[in-house]
A = this chain, B = another copy of it.
Amino acid sequence: MPGAKKPIAVVLLSGGMDSCVTATLAARHYRLALLHSSYGQRTEAREYCAFEEIASRLKAELKLRINQNYMTAIGGSALTDQSIEVPLASPLTGTDGVIPVTYVPFRNAHFLAAATSWAEVIGARKIFIGAVEQDSVGYPDCRPSYYESFGDLIETGTRPETDIKIETPLIGLSKAEIIRQGLLLNAPLELTWSCYQSSNKPCGACDSCELRRRAFEQAGVEDALFRSTD
């Protein structure tokens, strides 16, 4: 169909590397409807700035920023604001053994619910999410079976004529492989933001900075983000 418009895909774009590569991949075959969720991240303003820059570079056709800050209340203050003994089956711990304030189990379902609703409203055929199985430490919502199950939910919970499929193109890759894939596609990795401590210059000390540093090292390339902020 020469001249026919490409179909639309909703892409969950946080502003980090994984979602940036995912969006770049999606852009090859789809018009982009980029969805960003604010859910109480510490460096949210900086992430959103990255979102805007990536969206502009990838010539997104639609953008939507949604506020899902209520997750903070679920994961954090709801535990402490009430005076009951919290009957936790087992502690919810972060990588440093401490419960992060904004930690929310089942978090990706909130993003996917928003993506699905929006996809149905704008007539998108696909939802892209940059989930990576290696990241699913202790939590199963980065595994392929989870996305299959969400696909079934979409099938069951939308109109019969609706056809929306979830795509997780990075799910089996390592961080280094994601970087190599990004460079191959000319993804704007230098616009992405990974640090979750600082919003000016990456702190270089947090888990996320360390993960990024090691991944670029393994990929054998320089991280252009540091070039531009040094």
Question: Which chain A residues have a beta carbon within 8 Å of chain B's beta carbons?
Answer: 8, 61-62, 64, 66-71, 73-75, 78-79, 82, 84, 86-90, 92, 104-110, 113-114, 116-118, 120-123, 138-141, 143, 145-146, 149-150, 152-162
**In the assembly, what is the distance between CA of A223 and CA of B114, in Å?**
37
For the complex formed by this chain, how many copies does it contain in all?
A: 2
Nearest neighbor of A164 in chain B, beta-carbon distance: B106
Chain B residue at minimal CB-CB distance from A62: B82
Inter-chain contact A67/B64, CB cutoff 8 Å? no
A192 to B224, CA, bound (A): 58
A106 with B157, Cβ < 8 A, contacts A74-B121, A84-B62, A118-B74 known: yes
The answer to whether A73 and B66 touch across the interface, beta carbons within 8 angstroms, is yes
Residues of B within 8 A of A145 (CB): 156
Closest residue on chain B to residue A142 by CB atoms: B157
Nearest Cβ in chain B — how far from A123, in angstroms?
A: 4
Q: How far is the CB of A219 from chain B (nearest CB, A)?
A: 30
A67 touches B66 (CB 8 A): no
Q: Are B78 and A64 in contact (CB under 8 A)?
A: yes
CA–CA, A187 and B78, complex, Å: 27
Q: How far does the Cβ of A145 sit from chain B's closest Cβ, in whole Å?
A: 5
- A105-B158 contact given A79-B121, A86-B123, CB 8 Å threshold: yes
**Cβ-closest 4 pairs across A and B:** A66-B70, A87-B123, A109-B113, A105-B120
Sample of 17 further A-B pairs with CB below 8 A, known A90-B159, A106-B120: A64-B74, A64-B78, A67-B69, A71-B117, A74-B117, A88-B122, A89-B161, A105-B116, A106-B157, A106-B158, A107-B117, A108-B157, A109-B157, A110-B114, A140-B156, A141-B157, A146-B157
CB distance from A87 to the nearest CB of B (A): 4
